[in-house]
Amino acid sequence: MTPDAPLLDLVIQSTGLSTEAVDAFRVALLAPRTRRHADAARFFDVPADAQTRRIAQALAAYWHCDATLVQPALRTADMRLLVLDMDSTAIAVEGIDELAALAGHGPAVAAITESAMRGEIADYAQSLRRRVALLAGTELALAEQVRDRGLPPTPGARELVTEARRIGWSTFLVSGGFSLFAQAVARELGFDESWANELGVRDGRLTGEVSGPADNDGAILDAAGKARILQRQCARLGCAPQRAIAVGDGANDLDMIALAGLSVAYRAKPQVRQRAACTLDHARLDGLLELFADRW
């Protein structure tokens, strides 16, 4: 390990983190000080050189846990707002895929959704219009059925939002999906506000058209739109985007992740994992709180 490398803290976590995993990291990293939570451990003053990073990555892969190097001085008070994507981040499903399955268009819509989230379709708005067009003529009651039966939150989502609000962060839900679902999820999980796209409806049926929210100037809420919402909320709160946390999983989250001071990829596609500061593949969503020094 390089003697003059900057010293950072390493946080490892997973559901059911084993003592053996913690011991393996402690021995390999020669960590001078360690603290343990139920599903996480923090190793203090770890040299942040290439060798240490390789060791941490290899051990994380072997023990099936997340490993993140963080600044020792990072505290919850440094942040002002938390912005979460909805589909496959705050909730465990893709709302449009759930609706399409009920409407008899499941495979076709799901294939486009997956391709868009991987970034294979460069124009998210176009991909959304293609999917919504397949739903033309679907009864609005089916969409309301998806909403009313409940969109399952991801493990730790409710706890994260509750704790974020207790800390004093503003909490925002942004979605490339639909306000019909986002408003219900925001109420259920306790977000301060939500933004999403609007399904066209006429005579109780979907028209196959979709539009964006007024806060995105009516444009479909895509990657640029999510970043615009984040930036505007920062301006409203009087803080820099550096004091925002952004969490997402797909290609249309990349712009807000690039803008935020702390970016988190949750069960994310490869290109999101590569660009985010923190990746949560094994921990719960509220595991992002373990990154802050004052939580220890």
Q: Which of 212, 207, 224, 286 is nearest to 259 (CA)?
A: 224
**Distance from C-alpha of 55 to C-alpha of 61, rounded to nearest angstrom:** 10
SS (H, E, C) the chain: CCCCCCEEEEEEECCCCCHHHHHHHHHHHCCCEEEECCCEEEEEEEECCHHHHHHHHHHHHHHCCEEEEECCCCCHHHCCEEEEECECCCECCCHHHHHHHHHCCHHHHHHHHHHHHCCCCCCHHHHHHHHHHCCCCCEHHHHHHHHHCCCCECCCHHHHHHHHHHHCCEEEEEEEEEHHHHHHHHHHHCCCEEEEEEEEEECCEEEEEEECCHHHCCCCCCHHHHHHHHHHHHHHHCCCHHHEEEEECCHHHHHHHHHCCEEEEECCCHHHHHHCCEEECCCCHHHHHHHCHHHC
Question: Do 169 and 186 form a contact (C-beta atoms < 8 A)?
Answer: no
Q: Is residue 85 annotated as a catalytic residue, yes or no?
A: yes
Q: Pick the catalytic residue: 9, 66, 87, 253?
A: 87
**Distance from C-alpha of 219 to C-alpha of 242, rounded to nearest angstrom:** 25
Q: Pick the catalytic residue: 23, 49, 78, 85?
A: 85
Q: Which of 27, 17, 66 is nearest to 278 (CA)?
A: 66
Q: Which of 165, 164, 199, 207 is nearest to 181 (CA)?
A: 199
Show which residues are catalytic: 85, 87
